[in-house]
Amino acid sequence: MIALKDSPSNPETGMDNKTLVVIAIDDTDSKNGMCTTYIAYLLVEQFLRKGISFEDYPILIRLNPNIPWKTRGNGAVSLKFRTKDPEKAYEDACMLVSKYSELGKQANPGVVMSTISPPNIEIINFAETALSEVVSRREAISLMKKHNIQYRGWGKQRGLIGALAAIGNLLHNDATFELLAFRSKENWGHQRAVDNESVKKMSREIYPDTFNCYDEEKKRVLITPRGPDPVLLGIRGEYPEKVLQAYRMIKIDEAVKGYLIFKTNQGTGAHLKSKLDLSDLKAYRTGHFECTVIEPPKTGIGGHVYLKVKNKEGYANCAAYEPTGRFRKTVLSLIPGDSIEIAGSVRKRTSKHPATINMESLLIKKITDDIRFVNPDCNICGKRMSSKGQSQGFHCDFCNKTDRKAEKVKFENPRTIQVGIYIPPPRAQRHLTKPKQRYLLKHKIYSPLIEHWFN
């Protein structure tokens, strides 16, 4: 284990003539293996052995989850530290990315280094846009050249987009933490040996300071990925101390290479903060909008639920897909006239289907009364009467009575939903989805680097 007793240097004094540096990496993995967080782990390990002092936790930024060419979580990583030799640190980062990336297997990595802190407002705006829209490699390169930011890319160089966004995302508004534990190489590709009962116990005892660790409805562990990548498990929570406490409660029956605690935008809903314009629904965009239900929801093939809504900008087709479980029942409970706010992502329009918004959360703002007018009951036999036509009264088909003075009866159907926020169950949530318990949080104070943030 590497001792971690050093504290961050004072960023204002520049102690020992060390330069404040931020290095970011992205797109090093493929669907067949590797993970950008693992390369970040190796880089942190190498830097610490050289005596480099870190200013903050490594930053894990999840970008727009709707990008079709992403691999898994669409995450980029940045490291903030002080060093006397920024160029050597940059070369070390490039060497590790070149050595461990899935080059030629879908990975198109990028490494970006900046010595400008805080980043220019244009970089910050670029990072904000990358959360909810499609941004181009050309735009990223243009900004880096303009602001003298050093970079290197491989293949199609798509990783430069995420790397620059990781430098520009300062996590000022909200942040969570994730402890990622990594497997010994001989176990890559094999089933993960994590005790399910210990995960369930941990999730229940540390809730709400951890989230999305265990799905109670399906009795499913959510902290272990399924692919052949180096990640053993990931525990998400509100504070670094809490994710470390949670990790120590889990029983693991395989060799662990080590772990690293990241500060991250996971669980913040950051990708949904932009407003969607129903008159201009561009593919892959994410955001939110207020609207009114205009038709009763319908269940389609595969159990997917579809909803039509409108606002002053236009109309939209929305969907709650089968994996969202009970969330679909909430959508099915809506009726025309309900005032709601939907957050989600735009699926690309096809020749057979219009642009559809994949619903990630639903805020019910106002529910309308479910009032119906039904034919009256016969006052002789009690059976429901049928209408004889406008202003002609009602006729009973059972006792053959006609009542010309009878009128339809007002009937109010009790609503099964209430005003409030509704989201899919944990198993159907994206990395960035804000868990329900986090909507109640007030401002948090995060700890500086705790002693065991890296092992």
Considering only CA atoms, which of 140, 172, 157, 171 is closest in space to residue 26?
157
- Pairing assessment for the beta strands 176-183 and 231-237 based on DSSP bridges: antiparallel
SS3 content of the chain, % helix, strand, coil (to 5): 25, 30, 45
The DSSP code for 107 is: B
Q: Where are the domains of the chain?
A: 15-168, 176-268, 270-369+415-433, 370-413
What per-residue confidence (pLDDT) applies to 15? 58
In what helix (H) or strand (E) does residue 94 lie, and over which residues does it extend? Answer: helix 86-100
CATH number for 270-369+415-433 (one of 2.40.50.1010, 2.60.40.10, 2.40.30.260, 2.40.128.30): it is 2.40.50.1010
Distance CA 290, CA 385 (A): 41
In angstroms, what CA-CA distances link 237 with 64, 263, 311, 441? 21, 10, 37, 13
3-class SS of residue 138 = helix
Is the pLDDT assigned to residue 216 strictly greater than 80? yes
Tens of pLDDT, residues 51-102: 999 999 999 999 999 888 777 778 999 999 999 999 999 999 999 999 999 8
What per-residue confidence (pLDDT) applies to 201? 97
Distance CA 361, CA 384 (A): 41
The model carries a pTM of 0.89
What per-residue confidence (pLDDT) applies to 1? 39
What per-residue confidence (pLDDT) applies to 73? 74
Considering only CA atoms, which of 212, 214, 236, 232 is closest in space to residue 224?
232
Considering only CA atoms, which of 427, 57, 426, 29 is closest in space to residue 243?
57
Distance CA 397, CA 5 (A): 89
3-class SS of residue 377 = strand
What per-residue confidence (pLDDT) applies to 336? 97
What per-residue confidence (pLDDT) applies to 11? 44
Tens of pLDDT, residues 115-165: 998 999 999 999 999 999 999 999 999 999 999 999 999 999 999 999 999
Tell me the residue length of the chain. Answer: 455
% of residues, the chain, pLDDT over 70: 96
CATH code at 176-268: 3.90.600.20
Tens of pLDDT, residues 10-47: 444 455 789 999 999 999 998 888 999 999 999 999 99
Considering only CA atoms, which of 154, 180, 173 is closest in space to residue 75?
180
Distance CA 139, CA 14 (A): 32
The amino acid sitting at 219 is K
Distance CA 175, CA 266 (A): 7
Rg (CA), the chain: 27
> What top-level class would CATH report for the domain 15-168?
alpha beta
Is the pLDDT assigned to residue 400 strictly greater than 70? yes
Tokens linked to 77? 């990583």
Average pLDDT, the chain: 91
Distance CA 126, CA 135 (A): 8
Is the pLDDT assigned to residue 391 strictly greater than 80? no
Sign for the CA dihedral angle at 215, 219, 222, 225 comes to negative
In angstroms, what CA-CA distances link 441 with 176, 208, 242, 394, 434? 12, 10, 16, 58, 11
